[in-house]
Amino acid sequence: MTYFPEEVVEHIFDFLTSHRDRNTVSLVCKAWYRVERLSRRNVFIGNCYAVKPGTLVSRFPRIRSLKLKGKPHFADFNLVPPGWGANALPWVEAIARGCPNLEELHLKRMVISDECLELLARSFPNFRALVLVSCEGFSTDGLAAIATHCKWLRELDLHENEVDDRGEWISCFPDSCTSLVSLNFACLKGEVNALALERLVTRCTNLQSLRLSSAVSLETLSRVILRGPQLRDLGTGSYVHDPRSEPYLNLASAFMACKSLRSLSGFWEVTAQCLPAVYPICSNLTTLNLSYAASIQGTELIKMIRHSRKLQSLWVLDLIGDRGLCVVASTCKELQELRVFPSDPSGDGSAASVTEEGLLSVSMGCPKLHSILYFCRQMTNAALIDVAKNCPRFTRFRLCVLDPRKPDPLTSRPLDEGFGAIVRSCRELRRLSVSGLLTDKVFHYIGRYAQKLEMLSVAFAGESDRGMQELMEGCRRLRKLEIRDCPFGDAALLKDADKYETMRSLWMSSCDVTLQACQALAAKMPRLNVEVISDDGDFAGGAVCQVEKLYVYRTVAGPRDDAPAYVWTL
C-alpha cells in the first residue's frame, strides 16, 4: 500500500465509512495517518471534554461534518445542575478559524447561545445542516440568524431542545432559500407566521421532512400539505379543528395525495374526530410517533394502529394499554423498534399504563423486534423469561418499572432471573437499562453473559460492591455506565481503575462512594477526569464525605477550565 500514491490511498479510505475503521487505519503507519487525517470528512466526538477543540482542528483541517455530545445522559433527567458546561462556543470558534469548509454540525446535550449560532451562520459559507438534540441556551433569535445567513441550508433539525421564544423567525428565510430538505421545529412553543411557512414550503421543492410545532394550526397544515405532497416525514402541529369544516376536509384530501409519506409524528393537541383523515396515510407508514399525543385515548390509538400494517418503528404513550399492544402485536409484523412512554409519570398509578402483558404480546407477535424502551407499572420474571425466548435478537432493551425497587408482583421476588434470561438469550445486546427490585445477582448475570454490552443504566438496584465489581469484570465492551441510587462504594469504584480508560464515561450518583476513593482514582489515572459534583457547591466534608455525584471520563485534554463552582476535578 505504501507504493501507491497518496491519492489512491485516500480513495481507498473513502470507502471506509465508519469512524472506528478510519480511526484504526490511522494507527497503521505515519503515511496512513497523514493521508487519513487530511482526507477525513466526518468526525464524531462522543464526549466534548475528551479532546480540545484546537486538537481537532489541527489534526483534521478538512472536516465537513462534526458531531459532538456534551452532558452526561442523566442530564436529561435533571440530575446535572444547570451551568455544568458543554458549551459549543469554543468549538465553533476553533472550527471557524481552522476549518472554514464545515457543512454540518450535530450537537447533543450541549449549550449553544444565540451568539454562537450567529457566529456559526456567518463563518461557514457552505453550511448545510444543523442538528440540535436536547440542547439549550438559545432562542429564536439564533434560529433567525441561521435562517438569514445560511444560503445553502438543507437541514435544520431541532429535536427536543429548550428554546426561548423571542418572536417569529420562519419569515427570516430569504426568498432565495430553496434548498431546504428537512425542517424540524416541533419543540418550539412560539408563534409561527403561517404565510411565511407556506411560502417556504412552496419554494423548497426538495423538502422531504417537515415537523411543525404546536403553534401551527390544522388549517395551516392543510395548506402546507397541499404545497408539499412529496413529503416523506411529517410532524403535525396542533391537530384541532371542527371535523365538519372546510379546512379539515381539505386536509383529508391533501393527505390522500401524499403518496410518499412514511413517517408521522406531532399531534400535540388532538380532536379525535379529525383522526380519520390520517388513516389513509397510515397504511404506508414505517415510522409513527404518537408519544407527544397525550390527548389521544386508547381506542383511538388502536384504530390508527389497525391501519398501520407496515410500521417498523412505533413510539406511543402507555395510554395504548396492554390491549392496544396486543393489537400492535397482531397488526405490525414488521415492527423493529417500540417505545412506550408513561403518560402520567407522577401519578398515583390509577392512570392508564401497561404491564408485562403488553410486552409479552409484542414479543410474541413481532418477530423483527430488536429495540425496546418500555415504561410499565409492573413486570414479572416469567414474562421476561418468555420475552427473552421469543426475541433473542434484542440489541437495545430498556425497561423501566415506574415504581423503583418494585418486585415481581406474582412472586414478590426480585427481577434478577428475568433480566438474567434477557442477557443470556440476547447475545447481540448493546444497550440495557434495568429496573425493579434487583439484587447483586442480576449484575452477576450481566457480567457473565452480556458480552457485547456497550451501555448500561442502573437505578435503585444491587446490594453490595460485588454487584458493580462483577459488572466491571465481565462486560468487556462496556463504554458507558451510569448508576444512581445503588449501594456501590469505594471498593467497587477502585476495583478496576484501568477499565475506565477503555470506557467513554462513568456516572455514579447517590451511591456510597467517598471523596477519598475518588481522589485515589484520580491520582492513579492521570488520563481520566474525575469530577465530583456537589449539589450545594460545598466540599467541606473532608475526605470521608460521601460523594453525591461522580462523573469520570477519559480525556486527552486534561482537566477542563470551564467547570462551575460546584464541580471539582480531582
Measured from the CB atom, the residue of 7 and 242 that comes closer to another protein is 242
Q: Which stretch binds another protein (CB under 8 A): 86-94, 192-200, 224-232, 432-440?
A: 432-440
At its nearest, how many Å lie between another protein and the CB of residue 362?
A: 20
Instruction: Count Cβ neighbours within 10 Å for each residue of 539-569 and write b for 16 or more, e otherwise.
Output: eeeeeeeebbbbbbbbbebeebeebeebbbe
> Which residue from 139, 141, 160 is spatially nearest to 149, judged by alpha carbons?
141
Rule CB under 8 A: which of 372-391 touch another protein?
375
Q: Within 13 A of 448's CA, how many CA atoms are on the CB side?
A: 13
- Cα distances (angstroms) measured from residue 473 to each of 42, 116, 175, 454, 489: 34, 43, 60, 14, 16
The neighbour count for residue 341, using CB atoms within 10 Å, is 18
Rule CB under 8 A: which of 486-515 touch another protein?
487, 489, 512
Contacts of 56 (CB under 8 A, 6+ apart): 43, 45, 63, 66, 91, 94, 95
| 327 binding another protein? (CB under 8 A) | no
Judged by CB under 8 A, the residue of 232, 306, 393, 405 near another protein is 405
Residue type (1 letter), 358: G
Contacts of 317 (CB under 8 A, 6+ apart): 290, 291, 293, 294, 340, 341, 342, 343
Rule CB under 8 A: which of 47-86 touch another protein?
74, 76-79
Measured from the CB atom, the residue of 90 and 404 that comes closer to another protein is 404
At its nearest, how many Å lie between another protein and the CB of residue 57?
A: 32
| 245 binding another protein? (CB under 8 A) | yes
| 271 binding another protein? (CB under 8 A) | yes
Measured from the CB atom, the residue of 269 and 496 that comes closer to another protein is 269
Measured from the CB atom, the residue of 10 and 344 that comes closer to another protein is 344
What is the rounded CA–CA span in Å between residue 159 and residue 145?
18
Sign of CA dihedral 90, 93, 98, 104: positive
Q: What does residue 48 show for φ and ψ, rounded to 5 degrees?
A: -65, -15
| 330 binding another protein? (CB under 8 A) | no
| 209 binding another protein? (CB under 8 A) | no
| 457 binding another protein? (CB under 8 A) | yes
- Collapse the DSSP code of 256 into the 3-class scheme (helix H, G, I; strand E, B; otherwise coil) and give the result: helix
| 292 binding another protein? (CB under 8 A) | yes
3-state helix, strand, coil in the chain (%, to 5): 35, 20, 45
Output the 3-class SS for 485-516. Answer: CCCCEHHHHHCCHHHHHHCCEEEEECCECEHH
Cell (9 digits) for 73: 445522559
Measured from the CB atom, the residue of 48 and 270 that comes closer to another protein is 270
Judged by CB under 8 A, the residue of 10, 168, 357, 403 near another protein is 403
At its nearest, how many Å lie between another protein and the CB of residue 246?
A: 5
Judged by CB under 8 A, the residue of 63, 251, 362, 459 near another protein is 459
* E strand spans, 195-286: 209-211, 233-235, 263-265
| 460 binding another protein? (CB under 8 A) | yes
Rule CB under 8 A: which of 76-135 touch another protein?
76-79, 134
Q: What does residue 197 show for φ and ψ, rounded to 5 degrees?
A: -65, -45
Judged by CB under 8 A, the residue of 32, 268, 374, 397 near another protein is 268
At its nearest, how many Å lie between another protein and the CB of residue 377?
A: 8
| 301 binding another protein? (CB under 8 A) | no
| 39 binding another protein? (CB under 8 A) | no
Q: Which stretch binds another protein (CB under 8 A): 48-56, 97-105, 435-443, 469-477?
A: 435-443
| 428 binding another protein? (CB under 8 A) | no
Question: Residue count at the site for another protein (CB under 8 A)?
Answer: 62
What is the rounded CA–CA span in Å between residue 550 and residue 568?
10
Contacts of 240 (CB under 8 A, 6+ apart): 217, 218, 269, 270, 271, 274
Measured from the CB atom, the residue of 271 and 330 that comes closer to another protein is 271
Residue numbers at the binding site for another protein (CB under 8 A)? 74, 76-79, 134, 160, 187, 240-246, 268-273, 291-295, 297, 341-350, 375, 400, 402-405, 407, 412-414, 433, 437-439, 457, 459-464, 484, 487, 489, 512
